Amino acid sequence: MSSHSSEKQPQSLTRRHWLAGTGLALSAAGLSGFSKTAMAQAAATAAAPKPLPPFANWKTADAMIVHSSSTIELKRSAFGSSVITPSEKLFIRNNLPTPDAAIVADRDAWVLQVEGVKKPASFSLKQLRAMGVESVTTVLQCSGNGRGFFPSKPSGTPWQVGAAGCVVWSGVPVKALIEACGGVADGMAFMTGTGGEKLPEGVDPKSLIVERSMPLKAFEDAILAWELNGSPLPLAHGGPLRLIVPGYTGVNNIKYIKRLAFTSTQTEAKIQKHGYRITAAGQESSPNDPSVWEMPVKSWITAPLADNGELSAGQTVIQGVAFGGVHAVKLVEVSADGGKSWHKARFFGPDMGKYAWRQFSVTLPLSAGAHKLVSRATDTAGNVQPEQRLENAHGYNNNSWADHAVSVTVAA
């Protein structure tokens, strides 16, 4: 298991240390009755929601599930009915410690190195801003979103549906940058982005660096973004500058990007060679396994949910989100009987382009009793969201409609 996908949670280690320490001290004092109370209190502490880490303390706390200080997801009940996910509700995933806030103190001074072009050059953010501006709405989704539904419990964060959001990015198109650099150099097959995190000394940089390669064609609609939802890109989401590759899973959207290179081969970084690949369950990842790049078509219901109070019998509005990765989503069908019969949903709200998700809704009569609500999306290329997940060792790309079912009970 690579350090990138194991998503270690230092907090739980700390808690275990603390518990061990407490147990020792109490047994030494022979206070077994008190020890039980202490253990009960410790258990309650363990179950209490973790607080937001300081760099993300501006998030809407009651809308988020804090798995660790670097893995924070949106609750299924908190998606709302607006196509755009407010930045305060956008999930966070950092593979390395978040860089110091000093990097967003003077945003314009941030420097991007461009390589593998006819005229390699470095550009400050100030210079990039002068090269043009475009905006694109994309679904940003972690490759492991839905991992929590794998019965095999792959290691890594057990995300449910909330490691995803639909947001607006603004910045300069990569195409414009390439043009300014005289075009892509001959023989290049990949676009490679490098994260600007400072790496610890004495460690092989390849083992830690967040550097990802993707097929060259990915540059077509990619942008180097400095704004998120109309505000300067927060540090938590990769400010001052981030690579946005529409339709590709989260990890390919390099935060704090310091180098954009066109390369003939994929990077040798561990996160590329062994991380983020679709590996057969029980096998070690190999560079021959397919890389996690384009997102598959997917949808999920966001309301009603079992924890939103009792439903009464009758017409019920069922809603959710659907997207097609690099293709627009074309159709969503909803079933209230676990997939036996399907009803066409309608899209509502603005269409923000093919890389955005669409909100869907359908009103169905629900009788008293238990119902299993599921949704199934189809994209414009004809890909249909499958019933079963694609089993894989690390729990990537789960788009199974069965796994994303919602069970509700309607009162008699």
Ligand X SMILES: Nc1nc2c(c(=O)[nH]1)N[C@H]1C(S)=C(S)[C@@H](COP(=O)(O)O)O[C@H]1N2
Q: Residue 139 touches which of ligand X, Mo ion, none (CB < 5 to 8 A by kind)?
A: none
For residues 27 to 56, the per-residue mask of contacts with Mo ion, x marking binding by CB under 5 A and - elsewhere, is ------------------------------
> Using CB under 6 A as the criterion, which residues of the chain lie in contact with ligand X when the complex forms?
90-96, 140, 142, 195, 197, 210, 237-238, 250-251, 253-256
In whole angstroms, the minimum distance from the beta carbon of 236 to Mo ion comes to 14
Tokens of 71: 């893995």
For residues 124 to 143, the per-residue mask of contacts with Mo ion, x marking binding by CB under 5 A and - elsewhere, is ------------------x-
Rounded Cα gap, residues 85 and 73, in angstroms: 12
Q: Which of 99, 250, 320, 395 binds Mo ion (CB under 5 A)?
A: 250
DSSP-assigned states of every residue in 95-126: SSPPPPGGGGTTGGG-EEEEESBSS-EEEEHH
195 binds Mo ion (CB under 5 A): no
In whole angstroms, the minimum distance from the beta carbon of 135 to ligand X comes to 17
In whole angstroms, the minimum distance from the beta carbon of 4 to Mo ion comes to 9
- Nearer CB in complex with ligand X: 82/407: 82
Q: Output the CA torsion 131→247→148→364 (10° steps).
A: 120
In whole angstroms, the minimum distance from the beta carbon of 237 to ligand X comes to 4
In whole angstroms, the minimum distance from the beta carbon of 408 to ligand X comes to 29
> In 3D, which of 213, 211, 219 has the Cα closest to residue 178?
219
Q: Residue 96 touches which of ligand X, Mo ion, none (CB < 5 to 8 A by kind)?
A: ligand X
For residues 75 to 104, the per-residue mask of contacts with Mo ion, x marking binding by CB under 5 A and - elsewhere, is ------------------x-----------
Q: Kindly tell me the burial class for residue 292, based on how many C-beta atoms sit within 10 Å of its own C-beta (0-12, 13-18, 19 or more).
A: buried
Q: Taking the chain, what is the end-to-end CA distance rounded to the nearest angstrom?
A: 49
Q: Which long-range contacts (CB under 8 A, 24 or more apart) does 80-84 make?
A: 80/302, 81/319, 81/348, 81/349, 81/359, 82/349, 82/359, 83/137, 83/166, 83/349, 83/350, 83/352, 83/356, 83/357, 83/358, 83/359, 84/137, 84/166, 84/167, 84/168, 84/229, 84/352
In whole angstroms, the minimum distance from the beta carbon of 163 to ligand X comes to 6
In whole angstroms, the minimum distance from the beta carbon of 254 to ligand X comes to 5
Q: Residue 92 touches which of Mo ion, ligand X, none (CB < 5 to 8 A by kind)?
A: ligand X
Q: 215-252: b or e for each residue (b if 16 or more CB lie within 10 Å)?
A: ebebbebbbbbbbbbeeebbbbbbbbbbbbbbbbbbbb
Q: Residue 94 touches which of Mo ion, ligand X, none (CB < 5 to 8 A by kind)?
A: ligand X
- Nearer CB in complex with ligand X: 242/371: 242
Q: What Å distances lie between residue 403 and 75, 157, 298, 299, 379, CA to CA?
A: 16, 16, 11, 11, 19
- Nearer CB in complex with ligand X: 196/304: 196
Q: Residue 195 touches which of Mo ion, ligand X, none (CB < 5 to 8 A by kind)?
A: ligand X
Q: Residue 399 touches which of Mo ion, ligand X, none (CB < 5 to 8 A by kind)?
A: none
358 binds Mo ion (CB under 5 A): no
> In 3D, which of 265, 116, 113, 114 has the Cα closest to residue 184?
116
The answer to whether 266 and 190 are in contact (CB under 8 A) is yes
- Nearer CB in complex with ligand X: 142/180: 142
β-strand pairing of 257-263 with 111-115: parallel
Rounded Cα gap, residues 74 and 140, in angstroms: 12
Tokens of 175: 């195409």
From the list 40-48, 245-253, 296-304, 346-354, the region that binds Mo ion by CB under 5 A is 245-253
Q: Residue 140 touches which of Mo ion, ligand X, none (CB < 5 to 8 A by kind)?
A: ligand X
- Nearer CB in complex with ligand X: 210/218: 210
251 binds Mo ion (CB under 5 A): yes
Q: Residue 256 touches which of Mo ion, ligand X, none (CB < 5 to 8 A by kind)?
A: ligand X
In whole angstroms, the minimum distance from the beta carbon of 83 to Mo ion comes to 22
> In 3D, which of 207, 187, 196 has the Cα closest to residue 99?
196
In whole angstroms, the minimum distance from the beta carbon of 97 to ligand X comes to 9
Tokens of 312: 């009464």
In whole angstroms, the minimum distance from the beta carbon of 253 to ligand X comes to 5
Residue numbers at the binding site for Mo ion (CB under 5 A): 93, 142, 250-251
